Structures are given as C-alpha cells and as structure tokens.
Structure 1
Amino acid sequence: MQDNAQPVVTISAIASAAGVSVPTVSRVLNGRSDVAPATRERVETLLREYGYRRRGTTTPTPSGLVDLVFNDLDSPWAVEIIRGVEESLNGDGLSVVVSAIHRRGGADSTRKWLDILAARASDGAILVTTDLDSFLHAELQRLNLPVVVIDPAGVPDLEVPTIGATNWTGAVTATEHLLGQNHRRIGFVAGRPGLWCSRARLDGYRAGLDAAGVAFDPALVISGDFDYHSGFSAGTELLTLTEPPTAIFAASDQMALGVYEAARQQGLRIPDDLSVIGFDDLPEASWASPPLTTVRQPLSEMGTLAARTLVRLIRGEPVESPRIELSTRLIPRASVRPRPA
C-alpha cells in the first residue's frame, strides 16, 4: 500500500533551493517590499513547486496544547518555571508539553523539534534561555505560532515578548552586600559565557565594585556553566590563588553550592573563613549548611507571566510591553559574615 503522506516542507528547504537566506524567504512570505523582483519570483515559484503551505491559511482547530521548551532540563530552576507555567495555563484549559532543544544537538535538534511542533499543531510556545536566531524565528513565523521567550539567551528580540529578571540590579545588590560586610577581595563565578543573563550579572558585579572604589581584578572572575560541578571547579581555582578571595559571589545557587564543597576540601569553613552568595533562591539554598545567602529570582512568577502573555497572543489580544523584567531581591542567610577590619 502506497504512503500518500506528504513530507513537511520547511522554509529552510525553500531557502536552500533558491540560494537565498531564510530571512529572505520569510520576507517574501510576509509580502515585504525589500526583496529584488527576480529573487521574489524565484522564491514564489519554488513555494508553488514544493507545495508549501502556510499555517494559518485556513482557520486551525485549537489543539489545547502549549510547548514549553528548554535548552536543558537538568536544572532545578526549570522545575520552578514549569510550576508557574502549568498552574497558569491549567486555569485557561490548556495543557503543557515540556521538551528540550539540546545545545549540543545544534541545528539538527532545533529542526527535529520544529518538525514535531508542526505535527502536533500546538497553539503557542514558551522558549526558555533560547537564542531566537534568524532560522528559528523564521520557522516559527512560518508556522504562525505565538511565542514568548523567558530569559532570552541573546539580545531580546522586540518582535517577540520576553520575560526576564533584573539580573544586573540583583548582582549589584549582592556585591554591595559583601562590600558592606568589609569584604574587598570578592571572587565571582560567572555564568555560561554568551548568555544575556550571564553578562548582566557580571556587569552588575563590576558596577558594584566600581561604585565602592574597589578595582576590578580579572583573576577573581572564573566562568562556570550554572551547574554544581563548574561551581566546584571555579571555587577550587579561586581558593588556591596566592591571594584567595575572602568572599565569593556565584551567579547561580548550584554554582554557589559547588563553591561550598570546594571550600570544604580546602579546609575552610563557611562563613568563618569564606562568605558565599548565590543567585536564584532555589529550595536547596535554604537547605544548605549553612543556609545560603542568595539573590531571589522570581522563577515561578516569570513562568506565570510568560503563560499569561502567551494566552493573550493566542487570543489575538495586544501585549502591553514586549520586554518585562521582574524584580530580584537579596535573601540574607547564614553564609555571609563580616570580615574583621
């Protein structure tokens, strides 16, 4: 028996066949005037030959599904975001499909998810810590899919609503707290290089030092990957310097807990010998010994707001602001102690 099912034609396939970029095909599809006539004709001919069908040319039946997509699902903060999204969407009669576009999978992982997304016909998608590059953006436009991004990896795209936190302000507050406890040699375990939130937290740390007249020392900054192991490695490197820091600010709670273990293995006690601050306020922060001082990032609330924004887009309602940042705040606990004058 012959299988008559037609393969899904992607915008990237059209772009490849036409010898143009994905954004160029997207501009043709959207009726933009900034495309050369010959190029437009070539693209339109291929669209017809390939039998390309735009989602939205007919009125789709709502699936009642929303995709919540992470780069990685092995982080505790993912659970907090899922909780906020799920509680909000359940109240609107929508179900959540949680999946991951793995960073190590590159473009192949993205294409695989897009194919599944098209087959599932989800009503919308929430992307977490995702770089909305030209290919992904164009494909989501082709699917006519409402999208909201939480904590964007790159510079926020004003065409897509984004939800974030005041990362810079939170980092300034943490640094000022340590400075206020008479610490002057403060190590910083930075987040994954290239992420928007990582840059903002590093900039906040530097701004806090600068405001207090403390010179920035690049030897005191070690990049991590937002996980326990990178925090342990960075903490070990900082604590074995010829002149180690008296306090360490880690750009995530998981990395801060890695610093805890690095300090233990160096024979140091927290906070007697080393003060430590994290970022996130995950449940583990209050369970640590001693409980971890940290910057609270409202992860569950970010998920809730992203879900509410997406529902407005699905209903065709206007979104008041394309970029919203929720406030962070310092949660003082027992991991910081004043340094003797």
Structure 2
Amino acid sequence: MIYGKHSKVSEKTIENIVYLVKKYNYVPNSAARMLSSNTSNIVTVFLPEADDENIFRNPHHITMLGAIENDIRKHGYFLMISSSITLKDLDKNLHAWPMAGIIMLAPTPEEVKYMLKYPNLPKVFIDSHSTEKKAAIVGIDDYRGGYLAGRYLVNCGHKNIGYASYHPDYNDILQNRFNGFSDALKDAGYPLKKENIFLGLTDYEGGLDVANQIADNDLPITAIFATADEMAIGIMEGAKLNGIDVPGQLSVMGFDNTPICRYTTPKLTTIEQDIAKKGRLAAKLLFDQIKSGKVSHRTINLPVRIVERQSVVHI
C-alpha cells in the first residue's frame, strides 16, 4: 500500500497504516525492497588502485565524487565507493552487491573490455582511452592539455624545461599528456631532455622529491610542468625549502585546476579541466541508460584551457 499498490486494501486499513507510518516516522528498508523486487538503487563508483594510499586525499577524486554523488542523490539513488586492485576484486564486487549501474574512474583498457562482458549493467567510464566501440566514455583531450602546457612555457621564454609525472606507461592518460608536452617542446626547437624527466608519485610528497632532485643535482631548469596540481605544489614547496625562488628561478605549472591552486603562494598556473562537469556528464549518461534500458556508446571529450596565475614568469 505504501508504494501505491492498495487496490485490495480497504480505506480504513489504509488510513490506519498511514497514521502509523506518520506516528513512528517509518522509513522503508532499502535492502529489503531490493531483495523483494530484485532491483537496486545503488550506483557504485570504482576508483583506480591507490597503492595502499588514502584515496580520499586526492583532490581530483574528491571533486569528482562530490559532483557524482549530488546527481545520484537527486535521482533517489545511493553512492557506493570501491577501489579494486585486480579484475578478480572487481568481479567479486560485482557479484557481492546488487547494482543499478557503475561508473569507473580511469580504468585500464583491459578493465573496460572486461566490464563489457556485463551487457545488461549500465556503465560509464571516466578518463579512459579505450578504443572499445561499445563503451560510454567521458574524458578530456589529454594530449592537447600536455601540448598547451609545453607551448605556454616556451612562449614564456623558457628553453630548459622539466616534466614531472608518474610513469607514462601507467595509463594512456599520462602517456598522452607526456606525448603532447614532448611534441610541443620539439615543435618549438627545444626537445625534452632525458635528464629533465622526473618520474614518481603525483602527490605532494612526490613533488617534494622532484624539487630535491633538481636542487641536489644543480639542474639548470627554469620551468617544470607536473601532470597533477598536488605534485606541482609539492615541487613549489620543495624548491623553496632548497633555497630556490618560485617563480623567479623556477616556474611551476600544474594540471587539473583543483581548488587548492588558488590558496598557494604563489598561486598555481595550471591546465584546467572541468572535473565536476565530467562527473555530472558521467552520471547523466548512466541514468540515461538506467531509464532507457539501452547501453550508450557515446564518447565525450571536454576541452581544456590554461589558467594563468603567478607561478610562471616570462623570462
């Protein structure tokens, strides 16, 4: 009766039940409803492997999850978060919980291909360069982001430029950013030097380590691009601790334009991607699938742009 099915219930009984519902502030048990109806109102967001790190330290992930959760809640669904390390873990999660749909952040091409084995499960992938034609993907032009960063630093007069990121072969996202950046420097006549490539964790501590390497080896780098804002901020702080003036002696540029860029000294120049919009679009594509019962095969790439602040100087 509570769900509108009261054709066989008397008016008096309905009145009594409604009275009791209001009196005791009854809330339906979602788990019981899912079991009885064989449906689910859970949307699971799978985050990439975090190397045993706290996944909620990542400002990119937090911004993304906030946008997704807001849309999911508006549709009357609930968000579940999981970080799967292997395909076996992924499979366990899929069979352990009833899910209305899933959103995967930065899945590998292998993971995308594996998930397509579940044709009846609505799914959207964020930041994946998978070539699977049956996948719904929301991302950005990572190559252009890297190229814009390289061209910008060259146009600011820098010739000896560094690059800081995780290993480019970790995923296609980083590989494309590296390729774009490297091509921009090559096109300008200043090819990226091997000794100017710094690989490590793309977090604050990773940035500190990069700055220490620059200082310890007395490298004549005048500018550096990091593929994550948090890493760029670590480089700025590490440079200062080593007596290197930012941006006077070392210009620093990041990627993402997370909120923390505005609170650093100097404020961080970065490549902006609309992280929240990616999350909202992913949620929209997912609920389109849930409502229609049809799997979407759309790929959407959002634009990127440079946000100029104070951490890069013209020389």
* TM-score bracket for this pair, using the shorter chain length: 0.7 to 0.9
* TM-score, L = length of structure 2: 0.80
Is the 2:224–2:250 Cα contact (8 Å) retained in structure 1? yes
- Residue identity matched to 1:217: K
What is the match of residue 76 of structure 1?
A: 59
Q: 1:169 aligns with which of 130, 141, 144?
A: 144
Q: 1:62 aligns with which of 10, 35, 39?
A: 39
- Residue identity matched to 2:43: V
What is the match of residue 304 of structure 1?
A: 280
1:314 positional shift = 1.8
Q: 1:180 aligns with which of 134, 155, 177?
A: 155
In structure 1, what is the Cα distance between the partners aligned to 2:68 and 2:120?
21
- Residue identity matched to 1:198: L
Q: 1:206 aligns with which of 171, 182, 199?
A: 182
In structure 2, what is the Cα distance between the partners aligned to 1:143 and 1:170?
33
DSSP-derived class of the 1:172 partner: helix
What is the match of residue 291 of structure 2?
A: 315
1:68 positional shift = 0.6
Is the 2:271–2:306 Cα contact (8 Å) retained in structure 1? yes
In structure 2, what is the Cα distance between the partners aligned to 1:277 and 1:68?
30
Q: 1:139 to 1:68 in 2, by over 3 A?
A: closer
Is the 1:226–1:252 Cα contact (8 Å) retained in structure 2? yes
Q: Alignment identity in percent?
A: 27
Is the 2:116–2:135 Cα contact (8 Å) retained in structure 1? no
What is the match of residue 229 of structure 2?
A: 253
Is the 1:239–1:245 Cα contact (8 Å) retained in structure 2? no
CA-to-aligned-CA distance 1:109-136 (integer Å, 9 cap, x gap): x4344333323210110011122426x7
Structure 1 alignment gaps of length 5 or more:
1-59
What is the match of residue 252 of structure 2?
A: 276
Is the 2:215–2:239 Cα contact (8 Å) retained in structure 1? yes
- Residue identity matched to 1:207: D
What is the match of residue 70 of structure 2?
A: 87
- How many residue pairs get aligned? The number is 273
1:144 positional shift = 3.1
In structure 2, what is the Cα distance between the partners aligned to 1:200 and 1:143?
29
CA-to-aligned-CA distance 1:49-91 (integer Å, 9 cap, x gap): xxxxxxxxxxx74311110110232311111111121122223
DSSP-derived class of the 1:141 partner: coil
In structure 2, what is the Cα distance between the partners aligned to 1:156 and 1:304?
22
Structure 2 alignment gaps of length 5 or more:
1-36
**CA RMSD after TM alignment:** 2.3
